[in-house]
């Protein structure tokens, strides 16, 4: 099938390309799209050379599906244009996530809500994706009441300039002004802009997206999102209060038997998830599973995932694969 990748020169766009190849997605023709300054450049895919096209050139080729990672304003403008020609759009920005008529999808959690008419599909926030992967099976069995999450997010979540800034500061440079403070040897409790309620947009994304994906607005979520000098993945400390009591061993077994999740939980052997081990992998890793003894029916855990892969590109490709499996694109 004809597959467009919009924003192909960015970190997520280039990762989408790699995952399409790794997973042998049935691409008959790749349609690479980027900003005007990149048009005419070339990229390699499955041993072939493709020229980066403009939006109009891409539309003329009538792709079956378009994977977007080009920012919210671009998605708001261009996604309807692609959808108007019958192309399915899987958008990685925040543009459509909370739109009442657009589905917000993690295939393992709520892929079943998609219909043939859903031409614009939102890919959730990276931190939300890895958390709901763990929350969903637990919610099914124990009914979640409240979630308290603190994130430790990689600089890759900000993009290529942020990675360069960290590495520049590490060798004594002044960075490039991507963050409001030095990121190397530091921790910044500030991701995205602050809102009137004192939370950041990133924190409220986790609050609102979790309820939408899981289809339960009774779940109470509070989040603190933090940028750390890490390359390779996001980590989360998550405290989950249930309506029902649980057995920790049953929780471990349940999660281990859930597709896309790997349990790494042997503290005596210093075995627990770390971003350095999750980098380059598609699974969500969970460990430090233990009861919270400060209140009833409450669990603590530690969740790690490669934010560029399952947190963005892999999830988008999985959505496209779901569409293909349903026979809606070919």
Residue 194 burial (CB count, 10 A): 11
Q: Which residues are catalytic?
A: 126, 234
> Token pair of 99, please?
């739109």
Are the C-beta atoms of 232 and 305 separated by less than 8 Å? no
Residue 293 C-alpha from the chain's centroid: 31
Q: How far apart are the first and last CA of the chain?
A: 5
Give dist(CA 126, CA 157) in Å, integer.
8
Copy the structure tokens of residue 312: 């963005």
Using the structure block, give the residue that is written with the tokens 């459509």: 96
């Amino acid at each position: 099938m004809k597959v467009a990748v919009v924003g192909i020169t960015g970190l997520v766009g280039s990762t989408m390309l790699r995952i399409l190849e790794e997973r042998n997605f049935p691409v008959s023709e790749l349609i690479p799209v980027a900003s005007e300054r990149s048009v005419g450049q070339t990229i390699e895919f499955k041993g072939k050379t493709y020229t980066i096209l403009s939006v109009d050139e891409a539309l003329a080729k009538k792709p079956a599906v378009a994977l977007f990672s080009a920012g919210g304003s671009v998605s708001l403008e261009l996604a309807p244009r692609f959808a108007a020609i019958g192309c399915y759009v899987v958008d990685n920005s925040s543009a459509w996530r909370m739109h009442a008529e657009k589905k917000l999808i993690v295939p393992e959690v709520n892929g079943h809500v998609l219909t043939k008419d859903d031409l614009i599909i939102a890919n959730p926030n990276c931190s939300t994706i890895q958390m709901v992967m763990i929350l969903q099976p637990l919610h099914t069995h124990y009914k979640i009441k409240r979630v308290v999450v603190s994130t430790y997010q990689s600089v890759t979540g900000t993009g290529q300039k942020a990675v360069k800034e960290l590495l520049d500061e590490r060798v004594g440079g002044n960075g490039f002004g991507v963050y409001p403070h030095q990121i190397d040897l530091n921790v910044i409790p500030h991701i995205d802009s602050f809102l009137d309620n004192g939370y950041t947009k990133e924190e409220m994304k986790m609050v609102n997206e979790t309820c939408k994906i899981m289809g339960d607005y009774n779940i109470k979520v509070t989040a603190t999102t933090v940028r750390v000098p890490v390359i390779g993945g996001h980590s989360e400390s998550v405290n989950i209060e249930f309506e029902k009591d649980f057995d920790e061993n049953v929780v471990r077994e349940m999660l281990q038997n859930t597709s896309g999740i790997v349990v790494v939980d042997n503290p005596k052997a210093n075995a627990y998830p770390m971003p350095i081990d999750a980098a380059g992998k598609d699974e969500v890793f969970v460990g430090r599973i233990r009861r919270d003894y400060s209140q009833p029916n409450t669990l603590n855990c530690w969740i790690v995932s490669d934010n560029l892969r399952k947190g963005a590109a892999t999830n988008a490709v999985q959505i496209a694969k779901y569409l293909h499996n349903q026979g809606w694109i070919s």
